[in-house]
């Protein structure tokens, strides 16, 4: 059995698995500083994985294959995954965390199935109503965190307050920031803006004694400006915002590429400015923000985009190792205890 910092991998989850998964681990081990300390339990088809590991020596050296030829399809319904998922690569990857064999699980598989199986095996933390998916979001100062981005299409005020606590603890663990700012996404920053749920969540967070650095309402443009570290919203709004941002980044990349190849002079200018263009391309690369966390579980599960490449998968692994190497779960427990103590004395009313 492996020792040290162990990450459990669903090798068969994702649009291009297992190739991208194994090459993503190899890229991670070559380029991530903390990756040198990581070891991997890789769940999937042994024949396919053995052939891939033969071409990826660093991954082969640090990995142990746990064979299964069963997978959860990318279009499987969550209920089906819970009934028939036992023994699949996804199920086994999460079960390794439950059994204490690994500190974190990573999958690029079906999001709904991954959420359902994670809840079934790891269970929710005491008092957490429903999990949230937290996504890293690039902005001009580095990265922020937005949640929820798809797990809960509708949220009540208590859930939004809960997300604020979970997201703040996540940001502190990931970016080593002791006092991250927290904002509530709204259609405006004025106090009268927003529906009854948003208003109730705002009133509760404003009067809270949890010690959060809550700055109030923020707007959509604040997500990318970097003025707030953690932005809280429901999963419907968050998912649309995330997909819109990814599409905008891709469109801008195509515009820039087209402009730089428009004529002879623009091509010369692009050669002269190549270092700056490479830096800009890297900052705009959505792959570097890959890796969403399922918040609220008794364990750490990271969701990679299903269609990512090796670089994107390596980014998800980087999130995994940072959280595995932190006191994140202890921080979550501490902040949730404070939240529940406050709940005993405060009741949220929606007008």
Give the domain CATH number at 156: 3.40.718.10
Written as one string, the DSSP assignment of 120-153 is: HHH-BPTT--S-EEEEEEEETTEEEEEE-SSS-S
Identify the band that residue 350 occupies on the pLDDT scale cut at 50, 70 and 90: very low
104 and 123 belong to one structural domain: yes
Closest CA to 113 of 226, 219, 10, 35: 10
Alpha helices in 207-263 (DSSP H): 222-225, 235-260
Query: Is 0.85 topped by the overall pTM?
Result: no
271: tokens are: 């050669």
Q: Largest alpha-carbon pair distance within the chain?
A: 70
243 and 255 belong to one structural domain: yes
Domain carrying residue 124: 1-128+296-326
Mean pLDDT of all residues in 229-234: 93
How far apart are alpha carbons 147 and 80 in whole angstroms? 26
Within a domain: residue 17? yes
For residue 345, pLDDT beyond 70: no
265 and 212 belong to one structural domain: yes
Within a domain: residue 331? no
Residue-wise pLDDT tens digits, 150-190: 888 888 998 998 899 899 988 988 888 889 999 999 998 88
88 and 64 belong to one structural domain: yes
98 and 164 belong to one structural domain: no
250 and 308 belong to one structural domain: no
Instruction: Tell me if 105 sits within 8 A of 292, measured CB to CB.
Output: no
For residue 1, pLDDT beyond 90: no
Cβ–Cβ contacts within 10 Å for residue 277, how many?
16
């Amino acid at each position: 059995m492996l020792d040290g910092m162990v990450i459990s991998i669903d090798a068969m989850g994702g649009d291009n698995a297992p190739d991208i998964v194994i090459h993503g681990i190899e890229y991670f081990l070559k380029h991530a500083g903390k990756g040198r300390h990581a070891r991997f339990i890789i769940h999937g088809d042994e024949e396919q994985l053995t052939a891939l590991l033969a071409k990826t020596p660093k991954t082969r050296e640090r990995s142990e294959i746990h064979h299964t030829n069963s997978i959860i399809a990318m279009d499987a319904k969550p209920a089906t995954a819970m009934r028939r998922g036992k023994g699949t690569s996804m199920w086994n990857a999460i079960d390794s965390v439950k059994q204490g064999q690994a500190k974190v699980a990573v999958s690029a598989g079906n999001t709904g199935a991954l959420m359902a199986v994670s809840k079934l095996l790891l269970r929710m933390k005491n008092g957490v109503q429903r999990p949230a998916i937290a996504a890293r979001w690039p902005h001009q100062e580095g990265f922020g965190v937005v949640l929820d981005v798809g797990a809960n299409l509708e949220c009540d005020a208590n859930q939004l307050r809960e997300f604020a606590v979970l997201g703040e603890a996540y940001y502190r663990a990931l970016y080593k920031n002791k006092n991250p700012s927290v904002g509530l996404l709204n259609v405006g920053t004025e106090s009268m803006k927003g529906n009854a749920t948003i208003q109730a969540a705002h009133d509760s967070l404003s009067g809270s004694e949890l010690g959060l650095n809550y700055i109030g309402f923020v707007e959509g443009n604040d997500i990318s400006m970097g003025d707030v570290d953690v932005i809280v919203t429901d999963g419907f709004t968050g998912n649309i915002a995330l997909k819109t941002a990814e599409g905008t980044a891709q469109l801008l990349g195509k515009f820039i590429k087209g402009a730089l190849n428009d004529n002879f002079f623009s091509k010369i200018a692009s050669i002269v400015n190549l270092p700056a263009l490479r830096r800009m391309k890297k900052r705009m690369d959505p792959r570097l923000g890959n890796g969403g966390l399922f918040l609220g579980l008794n364990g750490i599960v990271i969701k990679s985009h299903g269609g990512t490449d090796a670089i994107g998968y390596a980014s998800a692994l980087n999130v995994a190792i940072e959280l595995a190497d932190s006191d994140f779960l202890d921080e979550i427990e501490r902040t949730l205890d404070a939240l529940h103590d406050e709940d005993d004395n405060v009741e949220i009313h929606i007008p």
